[in-house]
Amino acid sequence: MIPPAAFLVLAAVLFVMGIIAFFVKRDLLTQFMAVEVMLNAGNLAFLALTKALGKAEGQTVVLFVITVAAAEAVIGLAIIVLVFRQRKSIRTDELKDLKG
Amino acid sequence: MALIIFIILSALCAGAVAAMIVSHNQAHSALFLVLAFSSLGGIFGLLDAPFAAVAQVLVYAGAIMVLFLFAIMMFNLRLPQAPEKKRLRIVLTAALGVILLAELVLAGSRALRGAGPRALSAAGDIAHLGRLLFSDYLYALEITSLLILAALVGALALAGKKEGE
């Protein structure tokens, strides 16, 4: 029997790694992947608590999160493609003139 | 037995994400994430959530990461990104990560207080999940389908126009 705390610790570790990747990486695509890692950590925490509390509602939330993440990936990648077409670069330290 | 599987899968998952952080090649990062999300699907299976596990492998490791790979191939970034000397940023990020990890572990231990591993009351099987989705969460489900339609149209409107204007 695996304690639910182990799953929660793994979710916390994954979330923190996503944050670190988001701040260390310098291009939009990899930062976007870091956001996906954080979403997955959230899903894992939902499922761990679902099992610990014996309810099924958490699984429905996980399904909604997965579909919303798919929609978000589509729109985000379209925006990144647009940025790349205009600027010929997706490195965030070259996209400094984004104001207001 | 389940504990061994959990340890292997979680080490695989965390190691793949760490490799994604370290690697300088975007395509390698995406492939490491495919590995991480697949092993996370296995962990979902360990948590008695078979449908979430299947959706994780199909949608995340399959669809979303393949979309990322297509985007990476479209960009065709051949310059291998000079390793930047930003020590300060990395130190600050590590400090932020440690603080956030401590905070999350504290919050998680508080959330789990008095909630031992309990036998699922018919929560694990898919029939119950489907009934829940189409009764209590019906509006959310329908709105999700609208959201996906909006994302489809939005992606076409954003990236589809090439010689239009």
Taking residues A38-61, report their average pLDDT: 89
Cα–Cα distance measured from residue A96 to residue A12, given in angstroms and rounded to the nearest whole number: 32
Query: What's A89's domain CATH number?
Result: 1.10.287.3510
Residues ≥6 apart with Cβ < 8 Å to B84: A26
Q: What confidence tens digit (pLDDT) does each residue in B120-155 have?
A: 555 557 888 888 889 999 999 999 999 999 999 998
Chain A from 6 to 45: CB within 8 A of any B CB? 6-21, 23-27, 29-30, 32-33, 36-37, 40, 43-45
Expressed as residue numbers, the domain containing A57 is 4-94
Of B150 and A94, more confident: B150
**ipTM (interface predicted TM):** 0.90
Chain A from 67 to 96: CB within 8 A of any B CB? 67-75, 77-82, 84, 90-91
Query: Could you tell me where the DSSP H helices lie in chain B?
Result: 2-22, 26-46, 50-55, 65-75, 87-111, 126-133, 138-159
pTM over the 0.90 mark: no
* Predicted pLDDT at A99: 67
Distance from CA of A100 to the nearest CA of B (A): 21
Is the domain defined by B1-78 classed in CATH 1.20.120.1200?
Answer: yes
How many structural domains compose chain A?
A: 1
Q: What confidence tens digit (pLDDT) does each residue in B39-79 have?
A: 999 999 998 888 899 999 999 888 999 999 988 888 766 55
Q: Which of B89, B122, B158 sits opposite A82 (nearest CB)?
A: B158
Which candidate, A100, A72, A77, places its Cα nearest to that of A28?
A: A77
B117 falls in which pLDDT band (50, 70, 90)? low
Q: Map out the domains of chain B as residue ranges.
A: 1-78, 124-158
